[in-house]
């Protein structure tokens, strides 16, 4: 680094903590393919209490340890000194992790305007507690990136204009802008256009999350969709537009249950996910038979979700899922037990919950 030291960011090395919620696609319609190769979407997305946690502190010289991974190599300069430690669910702390990428991109965005300029924003030591399954259609990596951007800005006492923040988020991934909205939203374009929607009225719905131990590539699913693995009607778009209209008018949470079957079918990527991972079809059919309720898919999969009116009902269903695994009525796919969690759709009052309350009611006790 060069230039004057400038004002000290994050005095005393105070840890900045941000929660990174999972997301659920209540609807996901694919409305066309763009010239840049991406697909235009129309999706109603909501955040869940199930979350990762990202903590950052301004790093001191000599920070080291067995779990530390240094950031990517900067063009024309030495390796970036940002570091990352990961705990919780298995995830490699590699230089291309979205947490490290988000720190580097945020530094580039504020380099000339943060309070300590012309010195570069100092290195950050990041800690990621991973609770959201990877490659599951729940947006965990994108949420981690959004949380990291916010944490880095606070650690450096830096700020970005709204447009700059949107551009930064979109550069990190299609789902990242959604996580800056702070609640339910209509997401269009490839994900860069986000319209905040009113939160559901009344008690937050409970959600049973079942993720087979079978990571599914989003790119592979969209490629299968492009090859023709898709619905033959525009029913999902119609349902998505109707849900947006109802939420703008103030939709009671209980009304979701009246639409459970329509919402469960409201994902244009489901046929493509089943082509990429054919064993999902048997798994989803068995899960629906076991629970006796419509089963949706979040994003490109493989996560299945089921709505319940109360947490107690969702926890009871989770026990049925575990029993189905033990008895063999829920077929094992992907070489291990599924990840099972009970969560809720986040409302503003839940955003301030402490870290241990954001484990989403995970019920799995082994295998991951």
At 324 the pLDDT is 96
- Measured from the Cβ of residue 340, the count of other Cβ atoms closer than 10 Å reads 20
Q: Average pLDDT of 81-102? A: 87
Q: Which residue has the higher pLDDT, 73 or 198?
A: 198
- 323, 287 contact by CB (below 8 A): no
Q: Which residue has the higher pLDDT, 63 or 325?
A: 325
Whether the per-residue pLDDT at 326 is higher than 50: the answer is: yes
Examine the residue annotation and report whether 316 is marked as an active-site residue of this protein.
Answer: no
Tell me, rounded to whole angstroms, the distance of Cα 313 from its chain centroid: 24
Whether the per-residue pLDDT at 206 is higher than 80: the answer is: yes
**Three-class secondary structure of residue 349 per DSSP:** helix
Whether the per-residue pLDDT at 4 is higher than 60: the answer is: no
Whether the per-residue pLDDT at 359 is higher than 70: the answer is: no
Residue 53: enclosing H or E segment and its boundaries?
strand 39-58
Which of 23, 52, 199, 268 does the annotation list as catalytic?
Answer: 23
Q: Which CATH class is domain 199-359?
A: alpha beta
Whether the per-residue pLDDT at 363 is higher than 70: the answer is: no
**Three-class secondary structure of residue 136 per DSSP:** coil
Q: Average pLDDT of 230-256? A: 94
The rounded mean pLDDT for the chain is 86
> Would you place residue 183 in the very low, low, confident or very high pLDDT band (cuts 50, 70, 90)?
very high
Whether the per-residue pLDDT at 270 is higher than 90: the answer is: yes
Q: Average pLDDT of 267-287? A: 96
Can you tell me which residue has the tokens 């860069």? 192
Angstrom distance (rounded) from CA 272 to CA 342: 26
> Would you place residue 13 in the very low, low, confident or very high pLDDT band (cuts 50, 70, 90)?
low
At 1 the pLDDT is 36
Whether the per-residue pLDDT at 351 is higher than 90: the answer is: no
At 95 the pLDDT is 73
Lowest mean pLDDT among 98-102, 274-278, 339-343, 347-351: 347-351
Whether the per-residue pLDDT at 75 is higher than 70: the answer is: no
Q: Which residue has the higher pLDDT, 272 or 6?
A: 272
At 91 the pLDDT is 79
Tell me, rounded to whole angstroms, the distance of Cα 339 from its chain centroid: 15
- 37, 153 contact by CB (below 8 A): no
Q: Which CATH class is domain 11-195?
A: alpha beta
At 165 the pLDDT is 95
At 366 the pLDDT is 31
Can you tell me which residue has the tokens 């094992």? 332
Examine the residue annotation and report whether 175 is marked as an active-site residue of this protein.
Answer: yes
At 19 the pLDDT is 96
Which of 120, 175, 199, 268 does the annotation list as catalytic?
Answer: 175
Q: Average pLDDT of 324-332? A: 93
Q: Average pLDDT of 351-359? A: 39
Q: Average pLDDT of 19-44? A: 92
Strand duo 83-88 + 124-130: pairing: parallel
At 258 the pLDDT is 85
Whether the per-residue pLDDT at 159 is higher than 80: the answer is: yes
CA distances from 202 to 230, 251, 311, 344, 353 (A): 35, 9, 14, 13, 18
Angstrom distance (rounded) from CA 40 to CA 332: 34
> Would you place residue 6 in the very low, low, confident or very high pLDDT band (cuts 50, 70, 90)?
very low
Helix locations, the chain, DSSP H: 98-110, 140-155, 162-172, 176-179, 218-227, 235-249, 255-258, 260-264, 270-276, 279-291, 311-327
Domain ranges of the chain: 11-195, 199-359
At 348 the pLDDT is 63
Which tens digits make up the pLDDT trace of 302-324?
999 999 999 999 999 999 999 99
At 38 the pLDDT is 83
Query: 210 is written with which tokens?
Result: 């079942």
């Amino acid at each position: 680094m060069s230039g004057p030291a400038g004002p000290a960011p994050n005095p005393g090395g105070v840890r900045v903590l941000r929660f990174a919620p999972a997301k659920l696609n209540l609807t996901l319609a694919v409305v066309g393919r763009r010239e840049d190769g991406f697909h235009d979407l129309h999706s109603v997305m909501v955040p869940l209490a199930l979350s990762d946690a990202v903590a950052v502190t301004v790093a001191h010289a000599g920070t080291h340890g067995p779990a530390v991974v240094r950031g990517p190599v900067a063009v024309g300069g030495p390796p970036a000194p940002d570091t990352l430690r990961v705990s919780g669910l298995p995830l490699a702390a590699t230089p291309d992790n979205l947490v490290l990428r988000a720190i580097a991109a945020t530094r580039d965005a504020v380099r000339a305007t943060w309070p300590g300029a012309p010195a570069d924003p100092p290195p950050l030591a990041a800690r990621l507690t991973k609770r959201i399954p990877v490659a599951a259609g729940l947006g965990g990596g994108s949420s981690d990136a959004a949380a990291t951007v916010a944490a880095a800005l606070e650690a450096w006492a830096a700020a970005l204009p709204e447009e700059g923040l949107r551009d930064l988020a979109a550069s990190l991934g299609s789902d990242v802008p959604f996580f800056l909205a702070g609640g339910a939203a209509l997401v269009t374009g490839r994900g860069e256009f986000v319209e905040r929607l009113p939160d559901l009225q009344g008690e937050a719905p409970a959600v049973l999350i079942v993720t087979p131990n079978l990571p599914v590539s989003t790119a592979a699913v969209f490629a299968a969709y492009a090859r023709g693995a898709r619905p033959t009607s525009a029913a999902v778009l119609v349902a998505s537009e109707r849900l947006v209209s109802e939420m703008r008018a103030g939709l009671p949470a209980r009304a979701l249950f009246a639409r459970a079957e329509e919402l469960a079918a409201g994902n244009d990527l489901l046929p493509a996910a089943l082509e990429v991972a054919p064993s999902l079809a048997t798994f989803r059919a068995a899960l629906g038979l076991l629970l006796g309720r419509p089963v949706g898919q979040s994003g490109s999969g493989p996560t299945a979700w089921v709505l319940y009116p109360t947490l107690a009902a969702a926890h009871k269903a989770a026990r049925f899922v575990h029993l189905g695994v033990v008895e063999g009525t829920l077929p094992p796919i992907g070489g291990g037990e599924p990840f099972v969690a009970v969560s809720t759709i986040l409302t503003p009052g839940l955003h301030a919950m402490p870290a241990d309350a954001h484990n989403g009611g995970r019920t799995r006790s082994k295998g991951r």
